[in-house]
Amino acid sequence: MNLRNFLSGTVLSTLAITMMTGCALIFIPKKQKVVIQTATPGASIIYRGDTLGKDRVVIRKVNKNKVFQQVTVAKEGYKSQRYCFEAAKLTPAYAISILDILLFGPAWEYRMPKLHKYDKVQHVPALQAMQNRKPDEKYLYVDNTSVDVKSADIKFINYNHIKQYERKSVKSNVKKKGKSLTKEDLKIDNTIFSDELNWGLKNMNFIDTTHTIFPNTGNCLYISSTIKKMTFFFIHHKDDHDYYVKNSHAMNSVLCLDMEIEWDIMDYYKQKICTLTTDKRSDLTIVIKDNGNVTDAYGRSIRAAMAGNLEYALMDVQKQLSEKGLLKMTAGKEDTSAFLTVNRPVATPGQRINDYLKSTVSVKVDDGHGSGVILSSDGMIVTNYHVVAGTKEIEVIFNDGTKAVGEVIRKNPDADLALIKVKKDSLIPLAFSDQKDPEIGIDVWAIGTPKSLELGQSVSKGIISGVRNANNMTYLQTDVKISPGNSGGALVNKDGTVMGIVSSKLIGFGTEGVGFAILSKDVFGKLRLKYSN
């Protein structure tokens, strides 16, 4: 055998072996250089937890063992974005491996990640700017984030490639074609996402972190969201999915979550103003199986997708509120209603604190109770507005156990005050003080119904420990023990004169004995009341 024939035979044998065994792959690099370009100037690009730079970075060694890769693009004042890209293009080695593909089937090509390559340049779309609260806009707080989805409204749609998802998922009827793989409804009363959304609102200055004791009740909105429909988009190589599930080192896929959400917009007292609807989609989120646990991997990714979706949706709610004019701060309108005139009670010297109990009441409402103070002998009673806000029925319970139906005849939500009327005569009212600057340090007693109706007309003693001014109101600070249910009750001095209406207390670790009552003079002013003499 001459040398020429030997070399020819060797080359042909080598090529045959290479084509039939995939040995051509040894000449293909496992890693590839990829350029990440963001459309948002100054945005940071994060890959595998490391910040690589801003605007444009080069990742020189992207491992092709993973079909999908993910970067995060972030910039202060913008909603951060997860961006996924895929090794979808075939390398020239695909052609010389054709025999392997014919022998082992089309899925073979996906089991050899080196046969694929990423686009050399990945263009990340512009980030969405977060609109910070303007000085003339109201504050926003997320009260509740719940899930109430019928089984028929939980849809699953599969795609083989990211570009296929981008091309097909934009159709208006695509979600209707999705399959529901469960027969169980999904219902969660409250989720962990409320705190995360409030954190985002705080970063946009929509949560007041300075006036936390005396909130501006007239310029605060509460938001409660309910997820009504969920569509999951999964992207993985269909022919190769079983292989990746079995091989944790190679398995990764991508998901996206579309959610239709109803948002109830409420005032400070949780009274609904309107309902808004959003239909947003999360960023693509990579799913990586760790420690062989597929359930945990998808659980983490679904949670991340839900959080991102809710953030986009809340930004849309903010936009809708602004367009409807509901975010605009409202200046407190001057009340021009006619004054209600009541007779001033005659003081009786030598009375004991026990005698004043006859002049206080328990106010039972739909979802609880509060307290009240008898203002006039013909059935007018002062309480807090938050005690009666939104209730359908009011039952007033007197010290002697008798009861009467109450009706709100005057209210001032901004001042948290309400006036109730009952059809009852010969009541014993208490006199309200007209002092502008009560003396600090004097003894006072709180009379009300703490915690339970069984504790009606309880008495606790303390002092006036300060006088505070906020939101055009004056509050008496006191160390009297105040509990839920005391709201609307009387803060009286030793003569039985009402110094203020109990309204709130500070609650928190290490905080004790700090309660507040609305100054009696403000009670008369805000409710447009006056004594006849």
Cβ-contact 190, 147 below 8 angstroms: no
Residues with a catalytic annotation lie at: 386, 416, 487
Last residue of a domain, one of 292, 323, 354: 323
Do 291 and 428 lie in one domain? The reply is: no
Residue 94 lies in a domain: yes
Sorting pLDDT into bands at 50, 70 and 90, what band is 363? Answer: very high
pLDDT (average), residues 234-238: 77
Do 108 and 31 lie in one domain? The reply is: yes
SS3 348: coil
Per residue in 69-105, pLDDT tens? Answer: 999 999 999 999 999 999 887 776 655 555 555 555 5
Owner of token pair 């913008």: 78
Sorting pLDDT into bands at 50, 70 and 90, what band is 113? Answer: low
Do 146 and 63 lie in one domain? The reply is: no
**Residue 508, pLDDT score:** 58
Nearest one of 417, 474, 472, 416 to 440, comparing CA atoms = 474
**The pLDDT of residue 139 is above 50:** yes
Cβ neighbours, 10 Å, residue 136: 11
Residue 107, phi then psi, degrees to nearest 5: -65, -20
Report the number of distinct structural domains present in the chain.
3
Half-sphere exposure of 317 (CA within 13 A, CB side): 29
Residue 332 lies in a domain: no
Tokens of 75: 């910039």
Do 83 and 166 lie in one domain? The reply is: no
Mention every residue, 6+ apart, whose C-beta is less than 8 A from residue 16. Answer: none
Last residue of a domain, one of 323, 357, 390: 323
Q: What residues pair up with 262 in beta bridges, in sequence order? A: 226, 277
**Residue 506, pLDDT score:** 74
Do 460 and 498 lie in one domain? The reply is: yes
Sorting pLDDT into bands at 50, 70 and 90, what band is 443? Answer: very high
**Mean of all residue pLDDT scores within the chain:** 86
**Residue 241, pLDDT score:** 47
**Residue 409, pLDDT score:** 95
- Domain extent at residue 46: 3-124
Residue 228 CA: distances (Å) to CA of 142, 154, 158, 279: 17, 9, 21, 10
* One-character DSSP codes across 466-483: EEEEETTEEEEEE-S---
* Gap between the Cα atoms of 51 and 71, Å rounded: 10
Do 179 and 294 lie in one domain? The reply is: yes
Cβ-contact 465, 478 below 8 angstroms: yes
pLDDT (average), residues 25-29: 67
b (16+ CB within 10 A) / e for 34-68:
bebebebeebbbbbeeeeeeeeebebeebebebbb
* Gap between the Cα atoms of 471 and 469, Å rounded: 7
**Residue 493, pLDDT score:** 93
**Residue 336, pLDDT score:** 75
Cβ-contact 145, 189 below 8 angstroms: no
Do 408 and 525 lie in one domain? The reply is: yes
220-235 and 139-149 strand pairing: parallel
Tokens of 145: 């984030």
**Residue 18, pLDDT score:** 47
Residue 11 lies in a domain: yes
Residue 333 lies in a domain: no
**The pLDDT of residue 178 is above 90:** no
**Residue 19, pLDDT score:** 47
Residue 68 lies in a domain: yes
Do 90 and 13 lie in one domain? The reply is: yes
* Gap between the Cα atoms of 319 and 325, Å rounded: 10
Cβ-contact 219, 211 below 8 angstroms: no
Tokens of 184: 């169980």
Taking the alpha carbons at both ends of the chain, their separation in whole angstroms is: 133
Cβ-contact 531, 412 below 8 angstroms: no
Do 103 and 148 lie in one domain? The reply is: no
CATH code, domain carrying 505: 2.40.10.120
SS3 360: strand
Last residue of a domain, one of 323, 348, 376: 323
SS3 380: strand
Cβ neighbours, 10 Å, residue 243: 15
Do 409 and 502 lie in one domain? The reply is: yes
**Residue 249, pLDDT score:** 45
**The pLDDT of residue 312 is above 90:** yes
Residue 335 lies in a domain: no
**Residue 218, pLDDT score:** 86
Per residue in 48-65, pLDDT tens? Answer: 999 999 999 999 988 877
Do 262 and 409 lie in one domain? The reply is: no
Percent of the chain at pLDDT > 70 equals 84
Per residue in 475-528, pLDDT tens? Answer: 999 999 888 888 999 999 998 999 999 998 777 555 666 889 999 999 999 999
* One-character DSSP codes across 189-231: S--THHHHHHHHHHHTT-S-SS--SS--GGGEEEEEEEEEEEE
The residue among 176 and 41 whose pLDDT is bigger is 41
Mention every residue, 6+ apart, whose C-beta is less than 8 A from residue 428. Answer: 345, 358, 359, 374, 377
Residue 359 lies in a domain: yes
**Residue 227, pLDDT score:** 97
Residue 329 lies in a domain: no
Cβ neighbours, 10 Å, residue 267: 18
> Cα angle vertex 352, ends 347, 357, to 5°?
85
Burial class (CB in 10 A: 0-12, 13-18, 19+), 74: middle
Which of the 8 DSSP states describes residue 321?
A: H
Do 471 and 450 lie in one domain? The reply is: yes
Per residue in 451-463, pLDDT tens? Answer: 778 777 789 999 9
Half-sphere exposure of 244 (CA within 13 A, CB side): 27
Tokens of 382: 């002062």
